[in-house]
Amino acid sequence: MHLRIKKWLDLNNQKASELAKNIGVNRATISHILSGRNKPSIDFLEKLLHVYPNINANWLITGVGSINLEDSDSISERNLSKVVVFYNDNTFDELQNKIL
């Protein structure tokens, strides 16, 4: 995750010290996260996403999707047609319109 935070900082031409000030954390906290020494805490992520709501939290945490929410397909713009549940015995169920 620290590499994605670095990427986001670079793309937004923002310094680590600015980020620390904007989200209200110590500069050392940012330094330790960016170096990979520490993993971001839930509190850190909450502050980051509160101050920068356009960051795609899914991308930040997993690396999946676009870096910004504007670039991502919103699930609210699509209709869910079915959900497939896979079981340990290699069987599955398709749930259609039962969850809506």
| Domains of the chain, earliest start first | 2-72 (1.10.260.40)
pLDDT in tens, 23-41: 999 999 999 999 999 999 9
Closest by Cα among 69, 98, 73, 72 to 85? 98
What is the C-alpha to C-alpha distance for residues 53 and 27, in angstroms, rounded to an integer?
21
Q: What is the DSSP string of 27-74?
A: HHHHHHHHHTSSPPPHHHHHHHHHH-TTB-HHHHHHS-S-SBGGGSPP
Q: Where is average pLDDT lowest: 27-41, 45-59, 66-80? A: 66-80
- Give the residue-averaged pLDDT of 47-69: 93
State which amino acid sits at residue 47: K
pTM exceeding 0.75:
no
Encode 33-44: b = buried (16+ Cβ within 10 Å), e = exposed. Answer: bbeeeeebeeeb
